[in-house]
Structure 1
Amino acid sequence: MKEEWLKVFDEKHQYLRNAIRSEVHQKGLWHETFQCWIVAEEDDVHYLYFQIRSNDKKDFPNMLDITAAGHLLENESIEDGVREIDEEIGVSVTFDELVYLGVIKNQIRMNDFIDNEHSHVYLLNKSIDWDDFRFRDKEVSGIMRANLDELKQFLFDQNVNTFKVDGFIVKDNKQEFISKIVDMSDLVPHNPIYFKILIHSIENAIREGLK
């Protein structure tokens, strides 16, 4: 399988060169990703949506992650990243529907895997029926949502160790609706600072009317 080529940057987001994806993650080279979080309001409560990574994924199977995200290839613009939303969760949107939250540094470090990202983060403010999610590429096995205020408390209050999610997972081609209590071990281990910046950015966008 032909390897993907990514643009490589320094920590200050200055372009350096191009490199293959395996080298980028082996050496912890900074690169760009596109991220889209879905937020929806219901009965005056805002919910943030997570994808459940497929059990077949090499990295972080069955864990809660960004609603839809992916690497930006060497020849792609930020706008091209919108394809990830349709590819991963089957929701078709235009780039103009997204609210830009900015570039957030995002780091995941493991023994043989160092993921240093300049993440272009967007918000999709849209209520989507559970039945409208589609997982065509089998990278995603379900969708869960969390009360934004409860998630914030979990991330910012050291005395709160869990939060509640509800949604569905696909088993044998059927939706199985579930509600459960999760903790940090259920989340893909993005840098905690990333999550805190994310929540603040989402709250600012909500206060500004998601424009």
Structure 2
Amino acid sequence: MISLYRPGDSPLHRAPAGAKLAGLAVLALAISLVARTVPTAAAALVLVCLAFAFGGFGPATWLRQLWAARWIVVLVAATQLVFLTPAEAFANTTRVVSVVMLAGLLTLTTRTSALLEALQRALMPLRHVGVDPWRVGFTLTLTIALVPVVGDFATRIREAQRARGVRLGARSVVTLLVMSLRHADDVADALGARGIG
């Protein structure tokens, strides 16, 4: 399992994984419902920045996470600008980025094993309707952990194209898709070898 956890002694590091998951859910919902204008969306991004500081991370870590999410920014902003005004597109894009950054902060301050255990406990009541808490928790944890991996693939593609003097284009998206699918196959093979499937 890919782990993005960075050891630390901040209040966020010490908080239980379940509480952090619940906090992420509440904050994501609040941001989605409240941050609908430029000022409130900007305030949400500032709140995320403060959350990183609360987790013991400086501006450099925050900026690295934002840089890793730049393709999400470009994709969301471009699609939003087709249908909405610039102000609405900014607010919607900022909301999405804020939630993605919060998820990144969760993975930075929480061990993957602790996240998996917390998700399993939260999903335990669903066993009565045929849901396997371990499989669902594992899938969600793996999904959260793989988001920055795809971001790293995008960075490597851009750096390779820059080294060759090639401009970004549709090929970049295809290359990113191919790399992501290959990685997904590798992960699936690794899980299959461990009897998880």
- Structure with higher Rg: it is 2
Q: Same fold (TM over 0.5)?
A: no
Name the structure where strand makes up a greater proportion of residues.
1
For CA contacts below 8 A with separation 6 or more, give which structure has more relative contact order: 2
After TM superposition, the score normalised by the length of structure 2 is 0.30
Name the structure where helix makes up a greater proportion of residues.
2
After TM superposition, the score normalised by the length of structure 1 is 0.29
